[in-house]
């Protein structure tokens, strides 16, 4: 038999319309809303806004590879990558140095 339960609301997604999502687990994921705000979520930290340069166009879809690097497909048809160490970091310095790289 199948049992469905409602869990706790995910912190940082309230009042946002999510249009793209990539999930490592129920403890770590990224979300993009209709205002093009990209956020990284971790069970142990508050959500972090990923305002990282290097993209041409708007993000249309997100995915993760087997090493948990984040990939974004943009409205211009570009495919970009953000390393796991960058999007999962909670250190401001790591995010300030970060850039999306074309694939």
Residue 8 has a pLDDT of 66
Domain hosting 62: range is 18-102
Burial 62-82 (b: 16+ CB within 10 A, else e): bebeeeebbbbbbeeebebbb
Q: 3-class DSSP state for residue 45?
A: strand
pTM to 2 decimal places: 0.85
With respect to residue 4, please indicate whether it lies within any of the assigned structural domains.
Answer: no
Give the model confidence (pLDDT) of 69-93 as tens digits. Answer: 999 999 999 999 999 999 998 887 7
Domain count, the chain: 1
Give me the CATH number covering residue 22. Answer: 2.40.10
User: Distance between terminal CA atoms of the chain?
Assistant: 44
With respect to residue 95, please indicate whether it lies within any of the assigned structural domains.
Answer: yes
């Amino acid at each position: 038999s199948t049992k469905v339960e409602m869990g706790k609301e995910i912190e940082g997604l309230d009042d946002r319309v999510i249009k793209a999502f990539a999930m490592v687990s129920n403890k770590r994921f990224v979300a993009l809303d209709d205002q093009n705000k990209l956020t990284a979520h971790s069970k142990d930290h508050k959500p972090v806004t990923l305002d990282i340069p290097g993209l041409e166009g708007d993000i249309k879809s997100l995915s993760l590879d087997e090493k948990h690097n984040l990939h974004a497909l943009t409205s211009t048809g570009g495919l970009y990558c953000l390393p796991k160490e960058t999007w999962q970091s909670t250190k401001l310095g790591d995010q300030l140095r970060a850039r999306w790289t074309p694939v």
